Amino acid sequence: MGYLVLARKYRPRTFQELVGQEHVVRTLSNSLAEGRLAHAFLFVGPRGIGKTSTARILAKALNCPNGPKADFNPDDDICKEIEDGRSLDVLEIDGASNRGIGEIKDLRDSVPYAPARGKFKIYIIDEVHMLTPEAFNALLKTLEEPPAHVKFIFATTEVQKLPPTILSRCQRFDLRRIPDPLICAHLRKIADAEKIKIADEALLLLARQAEGGLRDAESALEQLVSFAGKNITLDHVLEVFGLAGPIETRALASAILAGDSSAALGKVHEFRTRHRDPVRVAQDLARHFRNLLLLQIAPAEAEAELGKAEKQTLLGLGNPPEKAHLLSLLEQLLESEHHLRLSLAREVALEILVLRLCEMRERVSLETILKKLAIPGSETRAESAASRPAPIPNPAPAPAKSSLSKSAPPAAPSSAKETFLNDPAIKAALKDFDARIVDR
């Protein structure tokens, strides 16, 4: 056989080999065991997470000898035929290139004929959202009441494009993005089998940039082998994908959190000299801040998603930043991403973005002050507000009375500004603000 890309060579052959879709495997296995089988299945989810693979595995489970059963032997003849696309009973149709009413009418005409070898005649329509409205209409009746020997399996990345009439006739399964630790473990298995040497950090970075898609992660590994041979380092990954390394991302993030614009700009310049893609840098930052937030809000989920080692590294970064601060950083990053992508001077755009992010710290501190001022529990402020006289007419201001003046009246404030500054609540808030600035 000719050369097979890694993503095809390692296509899962059984339910057990499917990574990260336990909820789907469990439901399908139970239905198969109890013989409660729908006549139309729909697999939904983003690209490269196992929809087509699951469709083929289900076809094998339905038509395997002594089936239907979930624990079929993938080396049985019938299963191998299905895997190689040679089975007469399993027709795999690409919805993108057979989208018209003519093709669907042909399909419909073939439905009444009994299967050749297996129990069922199975129609797999991939990218089913590409069918035309007329084609969907032509399918409706058959899909509603197909003969007992017919099963339909659909897969799509764009479920919102399917008409409700089709959706309501299918049993729907939403496949999920695959968490980084599972992608890493899977890539490690492939690397061992292919005798590829690759550092753990490099694998983790590969997994991250795949954003939950296993095919993308496998293709990236393959691309790296073409670039660097079978000995892959973190630097190779950074170079090929224009990524910022995790240590560098963390350093830039820390400078931003501390509001240290000079250190942050220094980091951005380092990235520039190493030709890191500005959009990637911004995405890595967003991911880092999002992980810090997740760690505070749902630590258990953070560990499941990021892995123990990454969680420990994040915890080791010191005092957790305020949630409000992280949220505003994330909002700013998300707002700017589109602009950054389209910008003709991306490097400059990244610098401006980073400077804005550095300012966030002060903005959040001010918000904290304002929040404190609004706390109804701070009676001193309420008191002082109550005891404050009506606005002082100029040019002969009456001496204002602050709460402080009750015990040891300071020199009578000469202006509204002084009255404001003498207010204990304002004093406390300003002290807090000063402490933060000194902190820096």
**62 or 155: CB nearest ligand ATP:** 155
Q: Is 10 in the site for ligand ATP (CB under 6 A)?
A: yes
Q: Which two tokens stand for residue 200?
A: 């753990």
Amino acid occupying residue 134: E
Q: How far is the CB of 51 from Mg ion (least distance, A)?
A: 5
Residue 136 half-sphere exposure, CB side, CA atoms within 13 Å?
A: 17
What single-letter DSSP state applies at residue 393?
Answer: P
**12 or 413: CB nearest ligand ATP:** 12
Site for ligand ATP in 33-72 (CB under 6 A): 47-53
Determine whether 64 is exposed, middle or buried from the number of CB atoms within 10 Å of its CB (0-12, 13-18, 19+).
Answer: buried
Phi and psi, residue 63, nearest 5°: -105, 5
Binder of ligand ATP out of 157, 233, 261, 313 (CB under 6 A): 157
By CB under 6 A, how many residues form the interface with ligand ATP?
22
Partner whose footprint covers residue 288, from ligand ATP, Mg ion, none (CB < 5 to 8 Å by kind): none
C-alpha 243/C-alpha 240 separation (Å) is 8
Q: How far is the CB of 53 from Mg ion (least distance, A)?
A: 8
Site string for Mg ion, 43-82 (x = CB under 5 A): --------xx------------------------------
Binder of ligand ATP out of 13, 15, 20, 237 (CB under 6 A): 20
**29 or 296: CB nearest ligand ATP:** 29
Q: How far is the CB of 47 from Mg ion (least distance, A)?
A: 7
Site for ligand ATP in 213-242 (CB under 6 A): 214-215, 218
Strands 150-156 and 197-198: unpaired
C-alpha 162/C-alpha 143 separation (Å) is 14
**Other beta carbons less than 10 A from residue 404's beta carbon:** 16
C-alpha 227/C-alpha 185 separation (Å) is 22
Q: Is 7 in the site for ligand ATP (CB under 6 A)?
A: yes
**18 or 360: CB nearest ligand ATP:** 18
Site string for ligand ATP, 167-196 (x = CB under 6 A): -----------x------------------
**131 or 228: CB nearest Mg ion:** 131
Q: Is 26 in the site for ligand ATP (CB under 6 A)?
A: no
**4 or 385: CB nearest ligand ATP:** 4
**10 or 154: CB nearest ligand ATP:** 10
Q: Which of 356, 354, 363 is nearest to 263 (CA)?
A: 354
**Other beta carbons less than 10 A from residue 403's beta carbon:** 20
Determine the length of the chain. 440
**Helix or strand run (H / E) with residue 439:** helix 424-439
Q: Determine the 3-state secondary structure of 167 from DSSP.
A: helix
The DSSP annotation for 268-294 comes to HHHHHHTT--HHHHHHHHHHHHHHHHH
Q: How far is the CB of 46 from ligand ATP (least distance, A)?
A: 7
Q: Is 157 in the site for Mg ion (CB under 5 A)?
A: no
Amino acid occupying residue 40: A
Partner whose footprint covers residue 108, from Mg ion, ligand ATP, none (CB < 5 to 8 Å by kind): none
C-alpha 127/C-alpha 386 separation (Å) is 68
Alpha helix ranges (H) inside 168-274 = 180-193, 200-209, 214-228, 234-241, 246-257, 261-273
Q: How far is the CB of 242 from ligand ATP (least distance, A)?
A: 23
Binding residues (CB under 6 A) for ligand ATP: these are 7-8, 10-12, 18-21, 47-53, 155, 157, 178, 214-215, 218
Q: Which chain residues interact with Mg ion by CB under 5 A?
A: 51-52
